[in-house]
Chain A
Amino acid sequence: MIASLPLPFPFELTFMQRALAAGLVVGVFAPLIGTFLVQKRMSLIGDGIGHVAFAGVGAGLLAGIYPVWTALVFAVAGALGIEWLRARRKASGDLALALFFYSGIALGAVFANASGGIGTSIIGFLFGQPLTVGNSEVIVILLLGSLVVGLVIALRRILFAVVTDEDWSGVAGLPVGGVNALLAVLTAVAIVASMQIVGILLIAALMVLPVATGQLLARSFKGTLRIAVGVGVGSVVVGLTSSRLWGLAPGGAIVLVAALVFLIVALARHTMPGGSMLELPER
């Protein structure tokens, strides 16, 4: 990635290639995790953890520690906290999320102000700066992304069982608590790993919008996963291209493409009712 690869426009420049590499990893793992979160009725957990991660960024800036590490600590603790509240039914899933969501953003505001105001670095974490991503950041995101993708693929069957039918999975003797905790931690790692690319506020969207499209088109869970990842990767490529062409904010452009794809597919499904368009029944 040090030297430019001979890629066509708009990816002929080194900084665009770094953005593409990091974006593609996010485009794969965000929808991959998101497909399980949506089945668990926790579509907004990405947003909740994102806000807790924001508090972590503020804490890091205040303490003079590299903010990604403090964000990771805050995000993992927040994700486990939300899961703990939900699983013990101390609070409903969305109330548990709201508690962490608002506490996170409030703490973040207090920390950021104490460390000298909302500066450009905070804005970068909120909305992502894919075009200024460095080589070491690309390598970190590749490593974390491979870890997340590998674990999700290896554990996809038990993740599927637990997120679709938690009560039954518990009676059947599957380790429901451990699987839920693992999913929470993976979600936190994925959010922190991608916050410099699409930003804290937008990463959650990449966990949900491509999945919504996948659910409309697929007949199976496997198909939903594949289509969601396809839409995620496609949104990154098209979003980065349009950001170069028209000078759009790249994180926002990526998410807008994913939203647009969902809108088009939903409208097409509405006007052409009937069976699935992409996936044929498989035996």
Chain B
Amino acid sequence: MSLSVAPDGAGSELLVEARGVSYAYGSTPVVEDVDLDVRRGEFVALVGPNGSGKSTLLRVLLGALRPARGSVRLLGRPASEVKDRWRIGYVPQRPTLAPDVPATVREIVTTGRLARRGWWRPLRSADVDAVDHALESVGLDELAAHPITQLSGGQQQRVFIARAFAGEPEFLVLDEPIAGIDAESQRRFKDSLVHLIGDHGAGVLLVSHELSAVADVIDRVIVLKRRVLFDGPPARLVDEGVSLGIHREDLPLWLEGLR
């Protein structure tokens, strides 16, 4: 099943476009000569073993790191010059909140609405509705008034997913969001991604080790191991994956999910 607005990729807006991107920490190359596109209406999964440069590449794509070589265009502009960042939703890999922050789930999720709303404007009922909807879509509506510090790691991860959903992003970037989330929440999570892509025409870039929960809705898989080893529809990866040497070398769980 493909949710692409334009399945051949032509015609729909490029959300992110990386050309020949390299990045190194000191003299250690982390990402080398990467080409990567995500278009509106597309669900792209970025996979690879630990230390393959996935999180670094995401930070480069989002303009948080400047590539050593190559160029990144984000929302049609050079990544470091993007003004309308509220169009991007981002779920970081690890919770970046302090462990003792005194805040409820709702208070955290509401911050996801600020950039879209205009942070200087008061929140309206439409914003409250969007926050409610985001909480429901990850199954946290019952826990909205709970302190976030009393939630489990998996529940906290869902709070950060809801925070990104609350801004109704056009380009959603998720770094390992499914780890530690139970099956029921994974199903809801997938449904809300499908809704975001199908009804809002958003593009999704998902970094994950574990794709089985979303395997049937992925348009393209990109396999990264410093360089891009594979970029194409999941069915082709299943056919070609072993011949690429990916399966045997890294025993990736995600390949299981794509069968």
Enumerate chain A interface residues (CB-CB to B < 8 A): 39, 41, 155, 157-158, 160-161, 164-175, 214-215, 218-224, 281-283
Contact = CB atoms under 8 A, between A and B. Distances in A.
B235 interface: no
Interface stretch (B45-53, B106-114, B226-234): B106-114
A221 B114 contact: no
Contact of A283 (B92, B98, B144, B163): B144
Contacts of A224: 102
A171 B104 CA distance: 22
Given A39-B101, A171-B62, A171-B90, A281 B146 contact: yes
B120 to A, nearest CB: 8
Given A157-B114, A165-B96, A220-B102, A171 B147 contact: no
Interface string B115-128: 10001100100000
B103 interface: yes
A215 B104 contact: no
Contact of B115 (A165, A174, A219): A174
Contact of B112 (A41, A170, A172, A214): A172
Nearest to A282: B145
A75 B120 CA distance: 27
Interface of B: 62, 64, 82-86, 88, 90, 92, 96-98, 100-104, 107-108, 110-112, 114-115, 119-120, 123, 144-147, 160, 163, 167
Contacts of A160: 103, 107, 111
A167 B84 contact: no
A157 B109 CA distance: 11
Given A168-B160, A171-B90, 18 more contacts: A161-B114, A166-B96, A167-B92, A170-B64, A171-B88, A172-B115, A173-B82, A173-B85, A174-B114, A215-B102, A219-B104, A219-B145, A220-B103, A220-B104, A222-B107, A223-B102, A281-B145, A282-B145
Interface residues of A, dominant DSSP: helix
Contacts of B147: 219-220
A221 B97 contact: no
Contacts of A164: 97-98, 101, 103, 108, 111
Nearest to A215: B102
Q: Which of A158, A164, A223 has the most B CB atoms < 10 Å from its CB?
A: A164
Contacts, number: 92
Contacts of A165: 96-97, 111
A175 B83 CA distance: 11
A39 B149 CA distance: 13
A238 B32 CA distance: 65
Nearest to A159: B119
Contacts of B114: 157-158, 161, 172, 174
Contacts of A282: 145
A183 to B, nearest CB: 14
Contacts of A214: 102
A218 B110 CA distance: 18
Nearest to A158: B119
Nearest to B106: A220
A221 B115 contact: no
A168 B96 contact: yes
23 contacts: A39-B98, A41-B98, A155-B120, A157-B110, A157-B111, A160-B111, A161-B111, A164-B111, A167-B96, A168-B92, A168-B160, A171-B64, A172-B85, A172-B167, A173-B83, A173-B86, A219-B145, A219-B146, A219-B147, A221-B102, A221-B107, A224-B102, A281-B145
A66 B214 CA distance: 67
Contacts of B101: 39, 164, 221
Nearest to B90: A171
Contacts of B103: 160, 164, 220-221
